[in-house]
Amino acid sequence: MKCPFCGYLDSKVIESRATEEMTAVRRRRECLSCGQRFTTYERIEEHPILVIKKDGSREAFSRNKILTGILKACEKRPTPLDVLEQLTFDIERQIRQTGRGEVTSKEIGEMVMERLKDIDDVAYVRFASVYRDFRDVDGFKEEVERILAEKDRKQE
């Protein structure tokens, strides 16, 4: 395993355990060159899923791409990383459970927004602003008003 810090090609496994979902093995490793520790995950190789983009093009599904978008939306917010990783895992699992080989980027975006809404309102609005391509402040205003109205309904 290549060290993400120094690039050395050898490391030792310090600890191994199954993830909570029992879908991967989590390994803590230590680089034999620089001594830095890092975590790797070993997963079953699954059938590829293609994502159909807005322009009709297709690309391979990427769990990391979803997590990166969520991390950007949650930047400087008090949301723990493990919550965001679980959110990403849940979305991938939901997509795989459909049994379909293709999914639209719109479906993925809606899944992310639905879950972010329950985790962090600010992160939700940030993600929605990019996903829904808000052009001006009115788009933000309408989305915030929708969130507030939904919260009011839940409190009643």
For the chain, the residue count is 156
Q: Tell if the pTM clears 0.85, that is, is over it.
A: no
Residues 7-66 pLDDT 10s? 999 999 999 998 877 778 999 999 999 999 999 999 877 788 999 999 999 999 999 999
Please give the structure tokens belonging to residue 114.
Answer: 């639905």
80 and 29 share one domain: no
Domain that holds residue 144: 46-155
55 and 31 share one domain: no
55 and 92 share one domain: yes
Question: What's the total number of domains in the chain?
Answer: 2
7 and 61 share one domain: no
81 and 11 share one domain: no
38 and 81 share one domain: no
